[in-house]
Amino acid sequence: MDKEERKTINQGQEDEMEIYGYNLCRWKLAIVSLGVVCTGGFLLLLLYWMPEWRVKATCIRAAIKDCEVVLLRTTDEFRMWFCAKIRLLSLETHPFSSPKSMANKVSNGHAVLLNENLAEENRHEISKYSQTQSEQIRYFTHHSVKYFWNDTLHNFDFLRGLDEGVSCTSIYEKHSAGLTKGMHAYRKLLYGVNEISVKVPSVFKLLIKEVLNPFYIFQLFSVILWCTDEYYYYALAIVIMSIVSVLSSLYSIRKQYVMLHDMVATHSTVRVSVCRVNEEIQEIFSTDLVPGDIMVIPLNGTVMPCDAVLINGTCIVNESMLTGESVPVTKTNLPNPSVDIKGMEDELYSPEIHKRHTLFCGTAVIQTRFYTGELVKAIVVRTGFSTSKGQLVRSILYPKPTDFKLYRDAYLFLLCLVAVAGIGFIYTIINSILNEVEAGVIIIESLDIITITVPPALPAAMTAGIVYAQRRLKKIGIFCISPQRINICGQLNLVCFDKTGTLTEDGLDLWGIQRVENACFLLPEENVCNEMLVKSQFVACMATCHSLTKIEGVLSGDPLDLKMFEAIGWILEEATEEETALHNRIMPTVVRPPKQLLPESTPAGDQEMELFELPAIYEIGIVRQFPFSSALQRMSVVARVLGDKKMDAYMKGAPEVIASLCKPETVPVDFEKVLEDYTKQGFRVIALAHRKLESKLTWHKVQNISRDAIENNMDFMGLIIMQNKLKQETPAVLEDLHKANIRTVMVTGDNMLTAVSVARDCGMILPQDKVIIAEALPPKDGKVAKINWHYADTITQCSNSSAIESEAIPIKLAQDSLEDLQVTRYHFAMNGKSFSVILEHFQDLVPKLMLHGTVFARMAPDQKTQLVEALQNVDYFVGMCGDGANDCGALKRAHGGISLSELEASVASPFTSKTPSISCVPNLIREGRAALMTSFCVFKFMALYSIIQYSSVTLLYSVLSNLGDFQFLFIDLAIILVVVFTMSLNPAWKELVAQRPPSGLLSGTLLFSVLSQIIISFGFQSLGFFWVKQQPWYEVWHPHSDACNTTGNLYWNSSHLYNQTELDPHNIQNYENTTVFFISSFQYLIVAIAFSKGKPFRQPCYKNYLFVMSVIILYVFILFIMLYPVASIDQVLQIVCVPYQWRITMFIIVLINAFVSIMVENFCLDMVLWKVVFSRDRQGEYRFTTTQPPQESVDHWGKCCLSCVLDCRKKIPKAKYMHLAQELLVDPEWPPKPQTTTEAKALVNENGSCQIITIT
């Protein structure tokens, strides 16, 4: 294939696509038009459903550079096709395209201020997107993103804002002056209107799109067919059902569009002030904003209409719309590297890395902190659908298809039904020809068999269980924005938990402090709020180093900061402009101790305490704040004591990080030992540091200095020890999950030893279990990367490595069972840095570590996402439970992400629990399992309904008969719809069990269940059909037939003699029809009861009162009309009179049928096959569900034989993690021995191979 004809766009990204160029071909178009006419429009429908066929049928291949149409195909597992038309953007008509009016250029979407050669630069920029002299730019739009032809790349590319490839220096030097009006207009043309446009489609458009669904086209075909066969009532019923279905679907789709439209409309059009090049402030609509505009943030706050980076001032922002976290966040201006006193290396700006300086679209700016004479300014970096909120809305508007085995199997099952229909189709044609039936009747009847086999109510029936589960979840405070994921949650076999606020209480209690003097730890102190400490640097750090703010007079911010500030009892005041003007320097936030804590006179001789030489008023002003960063694991502030000449820098954060930034001589020698003692007890430890800044650092310099220039060469001051108590319900919930064979993993930003301690406390790691700490070191000084393995101290000490191997690690595979594996005796623990090194240099170890990795500490947000992906790569179904703040990526990536947020629905994750408790996890899994089993039950029932009706019709076709119109109507409306929508109402079982439901329809249990019921149903129908012909009273029925021959039924016969004077043209009324109708009607109810299973995943069906009532009423009604016929009902249903003795015989047939069906389903399948052969996970885990030891060898061989007979699949587990577990059980080198090192090879292969070297 010519390279020019196929390219890749969005390479390496989630939405990577292959792109092919095509031009319209007139002769192909003419042939297709003819085909459309010949097929009555069906070809047009087919091309509408298949974009690839549509383009290939009407176009010819062309170079992408000159094509008229592009065909796009995603490179993911779904390989979906899309097509888009190439459009032209003309620059000729715009005055700003002339070189004179252009003061800057667009370079990859970046504004760069130019001083000379403006004309040349302008020409170069336009030529990048347009090779023609007419200055036309070629582009296409896909999923609300414009892709422009780029001559430099020789490919289409989307226009980037200032969020990629722009350095922090250039943001200040080249972008902070604003845009000229000409440049603004030029960018507006390229970037378009700044709006996240969610157009609510008209009802007519939605109707057409919905009606053109293949399912409704099939229904239309069915209705036309039935009308030609004069089945008007049934056709009318299907039309009414379809109309109701279409209208309800239209209502829900339109409602979603309206909700989404309302969600983005809050900031769609507001008036904003922007700064132009000449310092003039211009008021424009937010829809006119472009990347590079300088937006002025109003004092009273606003809802951000774009993504922008702060270059002046500070903002308090509520980001709950994005993160689900309602705690206000402080945003500060981006550090300016050009004024950095150290001349730091310039770094590229990134909204993710610099999110503490970025205001995201849709977030609410609550208030701004401004300085006298200076406006709070932000540079627009992204607009429209490129913003964080725009990308979120795009993911809702254009969701990825849900890849779940159930849905794939559903399509395969439908194909099987179509194949069965094909057999019936051929049989009907052959049988009709042999019986010399008219050609018209043959066509109608043979097509009719297809409409019977593929059930029209299947999609509605399948979604019923999910809708009911969603309602039940809502009742217990779990909100869902992705209903299809409820079924997937039924398969979860591993759940990752955040620690703070999830497993432990959100609020930390201050246990005490341990200060450092002269590089030595003092004794721990409990009370921080006293006169002796009030003027110490330690308390000053606690008072200033936080991100607290007052909102409507109430102190709010991070819970940890709040606890610390409350512990010292100080007062925070956010001074107004008038108040701060009285001081020499502007200090927006001032903290001071309460008067009762201040000593009346400063003690002069006390040398032990570090005191300030202060005036009577003791206040500290926070001059600059560097907010807490998950990646850096620290925060710092620059503060000034009122009246002091020099400023102070205070820093707090993770002890290891803080100690590394302090002067080594100020850090106590026993620092690591003291820290380890606290973390082992499960305390959360925070270190503090301080240094005096040079007097030459003025207020203006501090505002632009980088944090790296401040955060170094500090004096270590000591530790704050916080107690993080486990939530009351945590141990019980984790125990429930373990009993259900669901693995639990801790992913936290906290210290490693603290995390291990909490994992032991909550039961994630049992007391006797070994913890192996993997400490990975990156390549350094020519040495390769390596992992040091340490065994953490445990309750049961082992003297040597052989004892560890024999005691703690299972080596043997017990027959076909991996039950021992579930009692994992060792756990890996590692921090974020080690995890990154292992991912990069030890790729072949990653799956092994995923199998037993339990504690992942000091994990940055992106590392949490990588961990979820690594677990999914070894075929785990991963759940993630977090607070939604820094877990967004992981929550979205997991199969089932649950955010513990007070908000009703957080877009951060598919599920949101209103109660901040992990008890929602087992609840969600239980409901997921119930919904999944309901889907299986409904699917099996619908399949049996089709096959039973197919059997009835096929048998009746053999005698040139069929079911009557009202018989079809009664079966489909009175029986099927009622049963389907009530059998889905079973609530979830009250506890989690160790078994997991199958994930697909093609599992052994389900196939055996369906096939056995098909054989039973067809067998008993055939028995009735052929047995009735053997009766002495049997004859080919005609209007004057009187098989009843009893006086009690004379009135019944006489009522028919006058109504049936004409012969029945469809031959509906006969003894075979009546027999098959009664037996099949009971069969629908029998399989409904057989399939409506309760335990272990759902409540028993007798607790589903609506279902029980419906089935009883239907049973009584059918039994009544069978044993005691009512003339009017029989006339409507076209039932003929049969002797009472035959009615009793039919009743006995039905009873035996019911007994056999229920015994096979509930005894043979559940009691024998489920427990012996098919007791496994979706991945093929062979496991006995009982916890008893393996039985005698005879039983074992019996089971093996039965397994071989009934299951032809190999005994190698399908899941990678199970296959790996089997290999590791016999691997003598795994797990690594204590004090050994694994080194990466000098030349790492593609698979990242490594070797183990034992260090003696």
Residues designated catalytic? 498
What are the start-end ranges of the H helices in 911-977?
A: 920-957, 965-969
Cβ-Cβ contacts under 8 Å for 433 (sequence gap 6 or more): 442
First vs last Cα of the chain: how many Å apart? 58
**C-alpha span between 749 and 758 (Å, rounded):** 13
Q: Are 685 and 722 in contact (CB under 8 A)?
A: yes
**C-alpha span between 582 and 603 (Å, rounded):** 29
Residue from 887, 889, 869 nearest 878 by CA: 869
**C-alpha span between 775 and 1107 (Å, rounded):** 58
Residue from 501, 502, 523 nearest 513 by CA: 523
What does 630-660 look like in DSSP terms, one character per residue?
A: TTTTEEEEEEEETT-SS-EEEEEE-HHHHHH
Largest Cα separation within the chain, whole Å, is 127
Q: Are 1005 and 940 in contact (CB under 8 A)?
A: no
**C-alpha span between 854 and 1100 (Å, rounded):** 36
Q: Are 447 and 424 in contact (CB under 8 A)?
A: no
Letter string b/e over residues 496-514, b meaning 16 or more CB atoms within 10 A of that residue's CB: bbbbbbbbbbeebebbbbb
What tokens were used for 154? 């020789």
Number of alpha carbons in the 13 Å side-chain half-sphere of residue 1170: 17
Give backbone dihedrals phi and psi of 794, rounded to 5 degrees, phi first: -130, 175
Whether omega before 655 lies within 30 degrees of 0, making that bond cis, reads no
**C-alpha span between 600 and 105 (Å, rounded):** 65
What tokens were used for 845? 């170890």
- Quote helix, strand, coil % in the chain, to nearest 5: 45, 20, 35
Q: Are 72 and 84 in contact (CB under 8 A)?
A: yes
**CA-derived radius of gyration, the chain:** 37
**C-alpha span between 1141 and 1123 (Å, rounded):** 10
Scanning the structure block, which residue is given the tokens 């003092």? 522
Q: Are 1013 and 1084 in contact (CB under 8 A)?
A: no
What tokens were used for 1058? 């006058």
What does 358-377 look like in DSSP terms, one character per residue?
A: EEPTT-EEEEEE-BTTB--E
For residue 28, CA distances in Å to 23, 25, 1205 come to 11, 5, 54
Cβ-Cβ contacts under 8 Å for 812 (sequence gap 6 or more): 820, 1225
Cβ-Cβ contacts under 8 Å for 389 (sequence gap 6 or more): 196, 264, 321, 322, 360, 361, 362
Q: How far is C-alpha 954 from the geometric centre of its chain's CA atoms?
A: 46
Cβ-Cβ contacts under 8 Å for 175 (sequence gap 6 or more): 111, 113, 162, 166, 292, 379
Strands 911-913 and 896-900: parallel
Q: How far is C-alpha 648 from the geometric centre of its chain's CA atoms?
A: 45
